[in-house]
Amino acid sequence: MEKHPVIKTINGQKYFYRFTLDQRIQHVILFWAVITLVLTGMPLKFTSAAWAPYLYALFGGIKAAPVVHKIAGVILLLLFTYHVVYLIYNIYKEQIIPLKNKEGLNALKVLKVVATQPLVPNLKDAKDIGALMKYLLYLTNKRPDGDEFTWKEKFDYWAPFWGMVVIGLSGLIMWNKVLATKIVPGYVINFSLIAHSDEALLAALFLFIWHWYNVHFSTSVFPMGTVFITGYLSEELMVEDHYEYYVKVMKEAGLEHEILPPHGEHSHAPQTERRRPQEGGHA
């Protein structure tokens, strides 16, 4: 914990700890595997496209590209398994065991722990979506006060989560078609192919449009968000997207007097001006 303070100050700017090294490594493996899978999979989905043979040839054509695709698929499935174990282990060690020692366990309490995990969608997310729509339609100048993980991030987490189950299962069936059809009839492979390729297109478009827009291309972060490398998010983005959580963290750190006002608008110039007197005051 001392190695990774919740709030780090570099050159007078505050940075907020968001992702552990373990999580960041998981994410890097995830995106390398996904990008490889998309590049080796899409030429097969769009076989008649003009670019398909060239892109496929880059991965060794019909003889090698399917092997590359399977290797990346196995890596992704291993990562998925690791992640689920990691998730259960951490919740068990850090929440269930202390709860057990403190007040004993029953099914309802365990369910409550699971339901209140920071990435589980809740009523606030629905409210935030409503508030965001109001903001985007110029009905208000106030952005929703995001919690530790906003609804966008929960979407980014659960969409690939469901995607990996669907694409992973259907991929395994098609790969091991002979074994699979010892149990299920052959037309299950038809459904596997549809699910695998259509869900993959959805996932690829989702990640490369929606996810990349939010974390890299939006004018607040362009040209690139760095939190996935450093694990730390700048105060400016904390205030913009996670205001509720920001206030909570600042209070816990005993920095109530340094809390910035919420961003109403997107303009960046007033922000820096707003920060300047505070930095002076701090010094």
For residue 98, CA distances in Å to 89, 134, 249 come to 13, 41, 22
Q: Which is nearer to other proteins, 184 or 224 (CB)?
A: 184
Q: Give the nearest distance from C-beta 62 to other proteins in angstroms.
A: 4
Minimum distance from CB of 8 to other proteins (Å)?
Answer: 28
> For residue 266, what are the contacts with CB-CB under 8 A and spacing of at least 6?
219, 220
- For residues 143 and 264, the answer to whether their CB atoms sit within 8 Å is yes
**Smallest distance from the beta carbon of 131 to other proteins, in angstroms?**
11
Q: Cβ closer to other proteins: 164 or 249?
A: 164
Q: Which residues contact 234 (CB under 8 A, 6 or more apart)?
A: 13, 14, 15, 16
Whichever of 181 and 230 has its CB closer to other proteins, that residue is: 181
Minimum distance between the CB of residue 188 and other proteins, rounded to whole angstroms? 8
Helix (H) or strand (E) holding 204: helix 187-205
Nearer to other proteins, 88 or 184 (CB): 184
Tokens of 163: 């995607």
96 vs 129, beta carbon nearer other proteins? 129
* CB closer to other proteins out of 223 and 254: 223
Question: Could you identify the residue written with the tokens 């995106």?
Answer: 31
Task: Please report how close the Cβ of residue 103 comes to other proteins at its closest, in angstroms.
Answer: 41
Per DSSP, which regions of the chain are E strands?
Answer: 7-10, 13-17, 232-234
Q: Do the Cβ atoms of 76 and 33 come closer than 8 Å?
A: yes
**How far from the centroid of its chain's Cα atoms is residue 135's Cα?**
23
Q: How far is the CB of 139 from other proteins (least distance, A)?
A: 6
Residues at the contact surface with other proteins, assessed by CB under 8 A: 43-44, 47-48, 53, 56, 61-63, 132, 135-142, 159, 174, 177-178, 181-182, 184-187, 189-191, 193-195, 198-199, 201-202, 205-206, 209-210, 213, 218-219, 265-267
80 φ/ψ angles, rounded to the nearest 5 degrees: -60, -45
Q: How far apart are CA 257 and CA 74, in angstroms?
A: 50
Beta-bridge partners for 7 = 16
User: In this complex, which beta carbon is closest to other proteins, that of residue 67 or of residue 139?
Assistant: 139
**In the bound complex, what is the minimum distance in angstroms from residue 23's beta carbon to other proteins?**
24
